Amino acid sequence: MVWREARRESNFEKFKPYLSKIVELERVIADKLGYEGHPYNALLDLYEEGFTVNDADNVFNTLLPNLKSILEKVLSESRYPSKHPLEDVPYDVNAMKSINEELLKILDMPVGTRFRMDVSTHPFTTSMSINDVRITTRYEGKDFRSTMFSVIHESGHAMYELMIDPSLEMTPVGRGVSMGVHESQSRFWENVIGRSREFVHLIYPLLKERLPFLKGYGEEDIYKYFNIVRPSLIRVDADEVTYNFHIALRYEIEKGLIAGKLDVSDLPSLWNDFMDKYLGVRPRNDAEGVLQDIHWSQGSFGYFPTYTLGNVIAGMIYAKLPGLRDKVASKRFNEIREFLRDRICKHGAIYPPKELLIRSFNDTYNPTYLLNYLREKYLG
């Protein structure tokens, strides 16, 4: 509650004493859980079993300089827009609801039997059982891609839950294995598939038919609108190229706080310096900066790095799934789902994440695949 008020007032000082206490408690939790090496390892393990600071450092040390190079080239060559007029165009909510319902049909979601979609303030997925998985989206009234990609993203999470082997139902392993692997499914469907040229080609007639304001916008316009690239202040609005910089910032701060090397008082200026260093932008206030996420107010330290792991694993899936582009172009989503079922989903939480990835892809958290995907898409 205090975080919510502090963010509304853009006043970090109001939240600071509470965050200081939370950080103290997180250090106690790490000690009670036990760890080898860095104390942050104990908290990382809560969300991604077996994932350590060494693993995270290896991922970010490879990602960041290469992402910086990709971003600079994309911005300097203006291949993708940094803004688009469709971001500000209002849409009819009923029209978008009908489009989202058609998207679920295209993705072959089992609507009305094992799955349903509703509306909420923030999109999410929840699983009552393997045979009852539900998602939500929201309708903000403009920038229609937002609600659309929420539907595709949450459907990715839902597919994971729906494809767990039924024999695991009601057991401790009848669930997704980790936050990172779960996020890989939503990121893969949202970004690798949903923002691809092939998927745009599939849904363009539907969009043109239901949204009159798209008159005058061709397929290429919609593709570019779906793939805007720009350094931005808010993590949840970030694009594929810049998103992982937002996570790296949070990772470095959490690692330093849990190790006792950073002081909570320094976070606003430290946050702003990291944003400047990574993306060349500086928050104008605390609400745009250090206060933007709910995670720390609820004690979720160690959670943020799993978002990057999701992107990294999605890159691995892209590299390992044969003929992906052809499958999307010909609407053979059942073949994509069967690949994911066999390699990831059906196993639930039987294997720890690293073992699952080695069994399925003969690799672990290797960011090279993600970098290759981004270079191919944005610089190819």
DSSP symbols for 44-98: HHHHSTT--HHHHHHHHHHHHHHHHHHHHHHHHHT-S-S--GGGG-B--HHHHHH
Residue type, 292: Q
pLDDT of residue 122: 87
Say yes or no to pLDDT of 235 above 90. yes
Instruction: Catalogue the active-site residues.
Output: 154
* Residue pLDDT, tens place only, 4-44: 999 999 999 999 999 999 999 999 999 999 999 999 999 99
- Cβ atoms of 185 and 153 within 8 Å: the answer is no
* pTM of the model as a whole: 0.96
What average pLDDT does this structure show over 71-88?
Answer: 96
Containing H/E element for 157? helix 145-162
Pairing of strands 115-119, 125-129: unpaired
With pLDDT > 90 as the criterion, what percentage of the chain qualifies?
98
What average pLDDT does this structure show over 100-127?
Answer: 96
Calculate Rg over the CA atoms of the chain. Answer: 21
Instruction: Give φ, ψ of 218 to 5 degrees.
Output: -90, 180
Containing H/E element for 283? none
- Cβ atoms of 267 and 253 within 8 Å: the answer is yes
* Residue pLDDT, tens place only, 317-333: 999 999 999 999 999 99
pLDDT of residue 16: 98
What average pLDDT does this structure show over 188-216?
Answer: 98
Say yes or no to pLDDT of 81 above 90. yes
Angle at Cα 103 formed by Cα 222 and Cα 110, nearest 5°? Answer: 160
The residue written with tokens 């996420």 in the block is 293
Whole-angstrom distance, CA of residue 206 vs CA of residue 308: 32
* Residue pLDDT, tens place only, 341-362: 999 999 999 999 999 999 999 9
Which pLDDT band holds residue 203 (cuts at 50, 70, 90)?
A: very high
pLDDT of residue 58: 98
Which pLDDT band holds residue 198 (cuts at 50, 70, 90)?
A: very high
Maximum C-alpha span of the chain? 61
What average pLDDT does this structure show over 226-235?
Answer: 97
What average pLDDT does this structure show over 160-172?
Answer: 97
What average pLDDT does this structure show over 75-85?
Answer: 95
- Cβ atoms of 288 and 26 within 8 Å: the answer is no
